[in-house]
Chains A and B, each alone.
Chain A
Amino acid sequence: KNQVEQSPQSLIILEGKNCTLQCNYTVSPFSNLRWYKQDTGRGPVSLTIMTFSENTKSNGRYTATLDADTKQSSLHITASQLSDSASYICVVSATYALNFGKGTSLLVTP
């Protein structure tokens, strides 16, 4: 069964601090891994997309890593801002279906 597990479930950090979110998956066949940011009541917005051969991809203060051997990915947020408060969802693509994790809820406080 294809599964995407994210940790932690929720996280609170101070503005300006860094944080790392984790994603473990068991999806086959693997096509790509995506990270999305979802504000409350809104649709997800793409942050990064990585294929099997990519280890790292950055988008501004967001850096995603992928270890296809261990089937793990991380999303590192640098110098957090209040606007980073959102749910971050890891998505692993297999053929036509996207497998979503439950997300990590991040709260950045002043």
Chain B
Amino acid sequence: DAGVTQSPTHLIKTRGQQVTLRCSPISGHKSVSWYQQVLGQGPQFIFQYYEKEERGRGNFPDRFSARQFPNYSSELNVNALLLGDSALYLCASSLQTGTINEKLFFGSGTQLSVL
């Protein structure tokens, strides 16, 4: 079975533009969460979705939004890009809500560079 897949792998944008990142969870997994990892730092939680509903949101501005589709894939949108949005964006999937003892499976990430 394929693992968590993210696309694109790399992306270059300019300030003020908008970007959409995509994530396909492992087959059978219903929960998807998004994380931002700035170089040299640990990942920061952005969103969690379960059964197409937002279950959690981290401390990120409203420029960040996400959604989950009926097939459990997900998109992360970032509007009005800033230089500080340059980071590795990670998607993780789990069977359910991914909080108790569930193992999270991460994709390889999308490296976003904002110029």
Contact = CB atoms under 8 A, between A and B. Distances in A.
Contact of A41 (B41, B43, B99, B108): B108
A100 B103 contact: no
B65 interface: no
Contact of A102 (B41, B48, B104, B111): B41
B108 A31 contact: no
A51 B102 CA distance: 11
Contacts of A95: 56, 99
A49 B101 contact: yes
Nearest to A89: B42
B113 to A, nearest CB: 13
Contacts of A44: 43, 90, 106
Given A49-B101, A100-B43, A102-B40, A42 B48 contact: no
B48 A49 contact: no
B2 to A, nearest CB: 14
11 contacts: A42-B108, A42-B109, A43-B107, A89-B42, A96-B56, A96-B99, A97-B45, A97-B58, A100-B35, A100-B45, A101-B42
